[in-house]
Amino acid sequence: MQDLHGRNINYLRLSITDRCNLRCRYCMPADGVPQTDCDGILRFEDFLQIVRAATHLGIRKVRITGGEPLVRKGVIDFLGKLSSIPGIEEVALTTNGILLADNANALKDAGIKRLNISLDSLNPKTFTEITRGGSLEAVLKGIAAAEKAGLKIKLNMVVMRGVNDHEVLSFAAMSINNPWSVRYIEYMPTIQESDWRSRIVSGAEILTQLQEKHTLEPLGHSRYCGPAKPYRIAGAKGSIGIITPMSSHFCSSCNRIRVDSMGWAKSCLLSDDRLDLKPYLELPQPHLIGALQQVIENKQLEHHLGCEQDVMTPFSMSSIGG
Ligand SMILES: Nc1nc2c(ncn2[C@@H]2O[C@H](COP(=O)(O)OP(=O)(O)OP(=O)(O)O)[C@@H](O)[C@H]2O)c(=O)[nH]1
Ligand SMILES: C[S@@+](CC[C@H](N)C(=O)[O-])C[C@H]1O[C@@H](n2cnc3c(N)ncnc32)[C@H](O)[C@@H]1O
Ligand code: SF4
Ligand code: SF4
């Protein structure tokens, strides 16, 4: 359905857990985030109920995220059920890749065709520093297993000045010989670190770096496409995308709403507005459809993160899933 600003909302992101096996510096504060006790977390059956209701409002694509979705027990079975809901045309997953090597085939069998994998450095030491302890080797094995299983791969790199911005070209090189989409993401100051302004590398700067070395061909947007501006290096097998939530936000073409692992529905990633769906799970389906409709209708026009009008409470992306 359309929101009050005429945007067609067809994409739902579900954060199925706030737990994670990494502690990325841009996502969580150093001392981590308080974890929800298990009683507060929606059951998989609740998520399925929400998705069934959302299809009545025109939701056609669902992305599963977290925390780290692959740490939640039973996720593969859940994905299989999700893929078979009438009206859902695409189910995708965003993962840090740590547990991917053991799960890639099962994900394919459960109906997943596309995976977005977070990867912020190709240097083992830098990778471990950014993720506060993660193993680059495990993620690279996961990517290889996903490729072997026939999954379509997008790599997400959050570019941070003085941390990994010198690796922009090494990441681009991966798109030349592999049929992957390598995406550069501007750092969003959601945890409001004191030095956040100096960390942001704008999409324009990234593009300049890329164009100094390569000829980039702009590509068209695909169906249910996300926020990335896509390009291809001339002759490459894969593509490149630049996601610019800070320097040039894409709110006017936003097509998504979100539900977190506690059942809070959010019409905008970067707003404090939210609606508790839990009470509606106890009622007949039209009530839940009505609640989701309200969420879509109340969707704000654009975000104010980092602007003078920014009044948003700091939060960890691991709770809502990015
Ligand atoms: N500001 C903003 N950032 C978003 C939004 N959706 C995704 N992002 C950011 O974009 C980056 C990539 O997100 P992904 O989970 O890979 O999903 P996506 O790129 O939207 O997904 P597809 O286009 O379906 O592949 C993450 O850093 C997200 O936080 C959005 O609606 N608003
Ligand atoms: C919150 S994670 C959840 C899924 C999974 N754990 C992962 O890392 O892919 C989803 C996406 O949000 C991105 N993200 C988290 N914090 C961010 C920030 N401050 N700015 C930009 N992107 C961020 C991550 O890089 C990742 O691609
Ligand atoms: S939720 Fe994703 S981005 Fe956040 S700490 Fe975990 S792996 Fe990193
Ligand atoms: S910030 Fe909000 S309105 Fe803008 S693209 Fe993201 S979710 Fe949509």
Residue with tokens 């104010």: 304
Chain centroid, CA 136 distance in Å: 20
Q: Which sequence spans correspond to the domains of the chain?
A: 11-155+248-319
Could you give the residue ranges of the DSSP H alpha helices within 22-177? Answer: 44-55, 75-83, 104-109, 124-131, 136-148, 168-177
Q: Is the CB of 12 under 6 A from ligand 1?
A: no
Q: What percentage of the chain carries pLDDT values higher than 70?
A: 99
Q: Is the CB of 316 under 6 A from ligand 1?
A: no
Q: Which of 93, 158, 266, when mutated, tests ligand 2's pocket best, judged by the most ligand atoms within 8 Å of its CB?
A: 158
Q: Is the CB of 25 under 6 A from ligand 3?
A: no
In 3D space, the residue among 271, 263, 224, 321 whose CA is nearest the CA of residue 10 turns out to be: 224
Confidence of residue 201 (pLDDT cuts 50, 70, 90): very high
Tell me the one-letter amino acid at 258. R
SS3 93: strand
Give backbone dihedrals phi and psi of 65, rounded to 5 degrees, phi first. Answer: -145, -165
Model confidence pLDDT, tens digit, residues 241-279: 999 999 998 999 999 999 999 999 999 999 999 999 999
What is the C-alpha to C-alpha distance for residues 261 and 259, in angstroms, rounded to an integer? 7
For residue 59, give both structure tokens.
């939701």
| Number of residues written out for the chain | 322
pLDDT score for 147: 98
Confidence of residue 224 (pLDDT cuts 50, 70, 90): low
Model confidence pLDDT, tens digit, residues 61-113: 999 999 999 999 999 999 999 999 999 999 999 999 999 999 999 999 999 99
pTM for the full predicted model = 0.96
Residue 210 has pLDDT above 70, yes or no: yes
Q: Is 184 annotated as ligand-binding?
A: no
Chain centroid, CA 65 distance in Å: 6
ipTM of the complex: 0.98
Model confidence pLDDT, tens digit, residues 7-59: 999 999 999 999 999 999 999 988 878 777 777 899 999 999 999 999 999 99
CATH code 3.30.70.1150 for 11-155+248-319: no
Residue 264 CA, ligand 4 centroid: distance in Å: 16
Residue 117 CA, ligand 2 centroid: distance in Å: 10
Q: Is the CB of 146 under 6 A from ligand 1?
A: no
Which of the 8 DSSP states describes residue 167?
G
